[in-house]
Amino acid sequence: MKFFIDTANLDQIREAQDLGILDGVTTNPSLMAKEGIRGKENILQHYLNICEIVKGDVSAEVIATDYEGMIAEGKELSLLHSQIVVKIPMIKEGIKAIKYFSRQEIRTNCTLVFSLGQALLAAKAGAAYVSPFIGRLDDVSTDGVELIRSIVDLFHYYGFETQVLAASIRSSMHIIRCAEAGADVVTCPLQSILGLIEHPLTTIGLEKFLSDYRKLNS
Ligand code: G3P
């Protein structure tokens, strides 16, 4: 399973990269706005900065919602850097855009996926990734991880190459459950990744090892 970080914050991306386990980055307009990145030139430069830190796929989302607009923006983003994956929303025009990019061998990440039917259409259109938002499903009393499991099963059954990228991860437990469900990728906040490291017995065990060492070596 690949680990992506879901942020546009360069410090957090560097910290995750320093761990040595980072495979890529996902961004979206809200995450870019959170970092105060505004204006086309600054936005494009920010994607380039991210690509310099991480040697993996970097999802960059189009703002247009019409077919022509998505094609124009997606082409510009894909030409920016070979690591860029064009993020396209799961709407009717988006499906057409994904199909277009697939024919051009430009990789896409279909975002805002909340159902098996949406995932099926994205895969059929040739998306490289499909991004079900599991936290937002949980928010409306629907089991997001179960959707991951269903999509993974469906894609395996039909042999789709589209990777299942679990998004809207809110906790370390989400990551573990997505791994158990067979997600190809999880994109997570830094804290959820770091939370996987923690265990009270590890802390207690390490303290004991070190205190026993010090008793004889100080
Ligand atoms: O990857 C999608 C993510 O950024 C959305 O997360 O927590 O806003 O639902 P959240």
Cβ pair 5, 38 in contact under 8 A: no
Diameter over CA atoms, the chain? 72
**Dihedral over alpha carbons 140, 98, 27, 74 (to 10 degrees):** -150
In this prediction, residue 218 carries a pLDDT of 84
Ligand 1 atom closest to Cα of residue 168: 6
134 C-alpha to ligand 1 centroid (Å): 9
pLDDT beneath 50, residues of the chain: none
Query: 167 CB under 6 A from ligand 1?
Result: yes
C-alpha 83 to ligand 1 mean position (Å): 21
What sign does the dihedral 166-167-168-173 (CA atoms) show?
Answer: positive
Handedness of CA 194, 2, 120, 32 (dihedral sign): positive
Ligand 1 neighbour 135 (Cβ under 6 A): yes
For 48-75, write each residue's pLDDT tens digit: 999 999 999 999 999 999 999 999 999 9
Q: What does the alpha-carbon distance between residue 104 and residue 112 come to, in Å, rounded to a whole number?
A: 23
The whole-number pLDDT of residue 181 equals 98
Q: Decide if 119 contacts 130 (C-beta within 8 A).
A: yes
Is 87 marked active-site? yes
Which residue, judged by its Cα, is nearest atom 6 of ligand 1?
Answer: 168
- Residue in 34, 40, 55, 87 annotated catalytic: 87
3 state SS of 84: strand
Q: What is the pTM of this model?
A: 0.96
28 lines ligand 1 (CB under 6 A): yes
Of all helices (H) and strands (E), which one includes residue 113?
strand 108-113
Residue of the CA atom closest to atom 4 of ligand 1? 168
- Give Rg (Cα) of the chain: 19
User: How many CB atoms sit inside 10 A of residue 50's CB?
Assistant: 24
Between CA 141 and CA 138 the distance in angstroms is 5
Could you identify the atom of ligand 1 that is nearest to the CA of residue 30? 4
Nearest CA residue ID for atom 5, ligand 1: 168
Q: DSSP states of 88-111 as a string?
A: EESSHHHHHHHHHHHHTT--EEEE
Give the Å distance between the CA of 7 and the centre of ligand 1.
9
Residue 194 DSSP SS3: helix
